[in-house]
Amino acid sequence: MKNVNVIGNSCKIDGKIGYFNSIGDFVKICESSVIGNCCQIGQNVCIGSNVCIGNNVIIEDDVNIPDGCVIGNSVTIRSGVVMDINNIIHDRCIVCSHTHIGKNNKFFLGSVIGSFSHEVTDKKLQGELFIGDDNCFGENCYISCGKKTERGSETRIGNKVHIQNNVSIGFNSKIAENENFPLTKEKFSTLISSGVFLGDSVEISASCVLEPHALVRPHCKIGAGTLVRMNSCVSQDVPPFSKIIGNRIVGYHKRPLAENLGFDTYDDEYLKFVGYMIETACQSANAYEAIEKLQKYKGQGQWYDKALGVIVEFLEKNQNCCKLMKFEKQVM
C-alpha cells in the first residue's frame, strides 16, 4: 500500500501517514505526528511533533504547522499562513493567506479566518490578520483580513477573546489589542456573543461584553469594560465601562469598573457609589479639582469612605482623571 501516496523529492517523513495523500517537494513530517487520508500537502511544508491532521486536508506551499497542533477534516490552510504551537482547527475551517496565529487558539467548525472582502481584488491592497494567544472562535465565524487604507492595513485580535458562533468581523478591526485594561476573573476577558456583526475599522477594547446580535457600525470605538446588550446598535464612539441598551448609553458596567480600581466587592449598591464618584471625577478639569469635589462623599458611610480612598489615591498617583478608566482621552 505504500505506493498509494505520492511523495515529492527531498522529503523527510518520520511521522505516520495514511493513504492517497499527495505530498510536495521538501516536506518534513516529524516523528509522533499523524496525517490522515486524501490530504494535499504543498512544497516546503514543515509539520512539527505531536501534530494530528485529519482527512481531506489541504495545506498549501510554505506553511509551518508547529508542535501540538490539531487540524480537523476538510480544513484548508493557504500559503503563507504563520502559526504558533498548540492550535486546534476544527473541521471545514479555512485559514487564508496573510494570517498570523499565536498560541493555544481554538477555531470551531466552518470558520473562515483571514478572508479578504469581495472588493479587495487588487493584491496591493491586501493587508494582514494578527491573532494573539488563548482565543476561542465559535462555529461559522468570518474574520476579515486587513485592507490597506489611510487608517491602517491590519485586523488585530488580542489575547483571551471568546468569539461565539456566527460572528462577522470587518477588515482593519481591532479587538482587545491593548492589554492595559482591567482583567476580569472570567476565563476569557473579552466576550463577543453569537450573531454579533462588527463593521470595518471597529475598535473593541478589552474586557468588553457584546451580547447576541449586537451591531457595531464601521469606525466606532468601544472603551474597555463596556457592556453592549442584546440587539443593540452602536453607531458612535463609547466611553469605557458604559452599559448600552438599544442605541443609548444607560449607565456604567460596574463590575469591570470596580475591578479596574481594585475593589473587592461587587454589591450593586456599593458599585453605584463607585459610579457616582467616577462620574464626578471625570467631569473635573484636573485631578486636584476632582479630589476637592470628591470630599463631599467623605463620612457618608463605610462604603463611601472606602471608594473615596481608592479613587483619591489613584488620582494623586496618576494626575489624570480620565486614566481612572484607563483612557488617555475620554471618547465621546
Please give the single-letter amino acid code of residue 20: F
Backbone angles phi, psi at 312, to 5 degrees: -65, -40
How many whole angstroms separate alpha carbon 35 and alpha carbon 15? 8
Task: Domain 1-64: give its CATH code.
Answer: 2.160.10.10
Cβ density class 79-97: b for 16+ within 10 Å, e for less = bbbebbbbbbbbbbbbbbb
Continuous H helices in the chain: 254-261, 268-282, 287-294, 302-318
Give residue limits of the domains in the chain: 1-64, 81-255, 262-325
143's grid cell: 474574520
306's grid cell: 472606602
Helix (H, G, I), strand (E, B) or coil at 59: strand
Are the folds of 1-64 and 81-255 the same? yes
Q: How far is CA 50 from the centre of its chain?
A: 26
How many whole angstroms separate alpha carbon 199 and alpha carbon 168? 8
**Can you give the pTM of this predicted structure?**
0.81
Assign domain 81-255 to its CATH architecture.
3 Solenoid (2.160)
pLDDT in tens, the chain (332 residues): 555 899 999 999 999 999 999 999 999 999 999 999 999 999 999 999 999 999 999 999 999 999 999 999 999 999 989 999 999 999 999 999 999 999 999 999 999 999 876 555 566 778 899 999 999 999 999 999 988 877 678 999 999 999 999 999 999 999 988 655 555 555 567 899 999 999 999 999 888 999 999 999 999 999 888 899 999 999 998 877 788 999 888 877 777 777 766 666 556 666 667 777 777 777 777 888 888 888 888 887 776 787 788 778 778 877 766 666 554 433 33
